[in-house]
Homo-oligomer: A and B are copies of this chain.
Amino acid sequence: MNAELIAVGTELLLGQIADTDGQYISRRLSELGVNVYYHTVVGDNPDRLAAVLRLARKRSDLIVTTGGLGPTYDDLTKELICREFGRKLVRDEESLARIRAFFEASGRPMTENNLKQADLPEGCTVFANDWGTAPGCAFVSGSCTVAMLPGPPRECRPMTDYRLVPYLAARADGVIRSDVVRVCGIGESAVEAMLRPMMEHAVNPSVAPYCKLGEVELRVTARAGTEAEARALTAPAVEAICLALGDAVYGVNVPGLEHAVVEALAAKKLTLSTAESCTGGLVAKRVTDVPGASAVFLGGVVSYANEVKQNVLGVPAETLAAHGAVSPETAEAMARGVCRLTGSDVGVSLTGIAGPGGGTAEKPVGLVYIGLCVRGGTRVSELRAGSVNRGRDDIRSLAATRALKLVFDAVK
């Protein structure tokens, strides 16, 4: 099956956003054994969108569109697909009920233009949208399968995983199983160098690395007749990867690092608190992204001003004067201070220079000290996250990820 992804939206052509949906869907389709041959991005322009659809129909068996399903006059995807494939748009009562419920729950009035989101191609499979208002859908026309997904990534991603992939998998033979090994603390190229022989020759299961800032995700995918047979193929590969990468692996099939941290703390019946300067609450935010974090997370302090470090966390004025706010000594005092303040078993602290300003030759942008206090015992790690290609956001993200990994390692 040869696929083309069509992203619809003038904001993509103006460069306001990147087509990250294209990347996400491509990954999932590759895992299904679908060849993606083209991505096309086109604006909210009826003539050009119609021409793109006509071409895609000629050269691809599967067309997946993203965007243009919303309530406004420039949302045209369904209308033009129906025109190209000779289908009628009909109102789907179930989708309409969901949209009405969405507005009722939010307490906002539903304006008339929202009705058109419930208009779908006649005879299509409806992809109910549990993450927004506009439903997606799919239909088969001759040798061509057409699927439509909403554009916003927070809707498009779950719609891909829970609607599009099951729809396509049901049409394929057998099952596909993916196991994800999550790695933090080794760069992608080092991971690749260590695993290259395995990755190069791996067909079933295949092993694909994906890089996030400060983390690598290794996806082991097998295709087989049954779930048990697929699992028998992926299990030895997962085991071999875990053996090769050792402590850098923090979990298999866990949703993310913060989930692994919360799980590890819960398993050991330990509580956590955070004291953040340069990350400004990002570590606490990531821990509390996890539903049920309240079982292990007591709270934290964002000590941006030195007065807050002194008065709330009890960092001695002499420590700040002698070593500065960005120092191992301050990091240690912050971690100790937040444990004392909240009574938690584990405290993690971050103090550093996120930039773009504030760096010096001695303490450059990207320098972060991470303090860890575990039942009174402390240690401090140094991170140098600065580089020409890295901005404030990247430095803060990397520091938060490193801090979470240090908590995980300490608890584990």
Q: 1/0 contact trace for A77-108 toward B, CB 8 Å?
A: 00000000000000000000010011001111
A363 to chain B, nearest CB (A): 15
- Determine the distance from Cα of A291 to Cα of B18 in the docked complex, in whole angstroms: 23
A368 to chain B, nearest CB (A): 13
Q: Would A17 and B23 count as touching, CB distance under 8 A?
A: yes
Given contacts A16-B210, A285-B280, A293-B280, contact A40 B37 (CB under 8 A): no
- Which listed residue, B178, B284, B289, B291, touches A356 by the CB 8 Å rule? B291
Main secondary structure of the interface of A (DSSP, over half): mixed
- Determine the distance from Cα of A294 to Cα of B199 in the docked complex, in whole angstroms: 46
Q: Would B291 and A355 count as touching, CB distance under 8 A?
A: yes
Stretch of A127-135, A161-169, A234-242, A403-411 contacting B (4+ beta carbons < 8 Å): A127-135
Contacts of A366 in B (CB 8 A): 105
Q: Would B308 and A387 count as touching, CB distance under 8 A?
A: no
Q: Would B11 and A37 count as touching, CB distance under 8 A?
A: no
Query: Is A276 an interface residue, CB under 8 A from the partner?
Result: yes
Contacts of A299 in B (CB 8 A): 301-305, 308, 312
A402 to chain B, nearest CB (A): 12
- Determine the distance from Cα of A208 to Cα of B187 in the docked complex, in whole angstroms: 40
- Determine the distance from Cα of A301 to Cα of B102 in the docked complex, in whole angstroms: 33
Stretch of A67-75, A136-144, A244-252 contacting B (4+ beta carbons < 8 Å): A67-75
Question: In the complex, what residue of chain B is closest to A41 when comparing beta carbons?
Answer: B39
Q: Which of A37, A38, A301, A356 has the most CB of B within 10 A?
A: A301
Q: Would B13 and A26 count as touching, CB distance under 8 A?
A: yes
Query: Is A200 an interface residue, CB under 8 A from the partner?
Result: yes
Q: Would A106 and B213 count as touching, CB distance under 8 A?
A: no
Q: 1/0 contact trace for A1-41 toward B, CB 8 Å?
A: 00000010011111111111011111111100000111111
Query: Is A211 an interface residue, CB under 8 A from the partner?
Result: yes
Q: Would A102 and B304 count as touching, CB distance under 8 A?
A: no
Query: Is A342 an interface residue, CB under 8 A from the partner?
Result: yes
Q: Would B111 and A193 count as touching, CB distance under 8 A?
A: yes
Query: Is A204 an interface residue, CB under 8 A from the partner?
Result: no
Stretch of A224-232, A315-323, A390-398 contacting B (4+ beta carbons < 8 Å): A390-398
Given contacts A40-B39, A213-B154, contact A300 B301 (CB under 8 A): yes
- Determine the distance from Cα of A52 to Cα of B388 in the docked complex, in whole angstroms: 35
Q: Would A26 and B39 count as touching, CB distance under 8 A?
A: no
Contacts of A10 in B (CB 8 A): 208
Contacts of A311 in B (CB 8 A): 341-342
Query: Is A61 an interface residue, CB under 8 A from the partner?
Result: no
A117 to chain B, nearest CB (A): 9
Question: In the complex, what residue of chain B is closest to A221 when comparing beta carbons?
Answer: B14
Q: 1/0 contact trace for A356-394 toward B, CB 8 Å?
A: 110000000010000000000000000011111111111
Query: Is A48 an interface residue, CB under 8 A from the partner?
Result: yes
Query: Is A282 an interface residue, CB under 8 A from the partner?
Result: yes
Query: Is A46 an interface residue, CB under 8 A from the partner?
Result: no
- Which listed residue, B13, B39, B302, touches A13 by the CB 8 Å rule? B39
Contacts of A107 in B (CB 8 A): 384
Question: In the complex, what residue of chain B is closest to A152 when comparing beta carbons?
Answer: B211
Q: Would B291 and A280 count as touching, CB distance under 8 A?
A: no
Q: Would B26 and A15 count as touching, CB distance under 8 A?
A: yes
A388 to chain B, nearest CB (A): 6
- Which listed residue, B102, B188, B301, touches A71 by the CB 8 Å rule? B188
Q: What 3 pairs across the A-B complex have the smallest Cβ distances?
A: A280-B288, A281-B281, A15-B27
Apart from A37-B42, A298-B305, list 9 A-B contacts with CB within 8 A: A12-B22, A14-B219, A113-B189, A133-B389, A280-B293, A281-B284, A284-B302, A291-B392, A301-B312
A-side residues, CB < 8 A to B, are 7, 10-20, 22-30, 36-45, 48, 52, 55, 70-74, 98, 101-102, 105-114, 129-133, 152, 154, 178, 187-190, 192-193, 196, 199-200, 208-211, 213, 219, 274, 276, 279-285, 287-289, 291-294, 297-305, 307-308, 311-312, 341-343, 354-357, 366, 384-394, 396
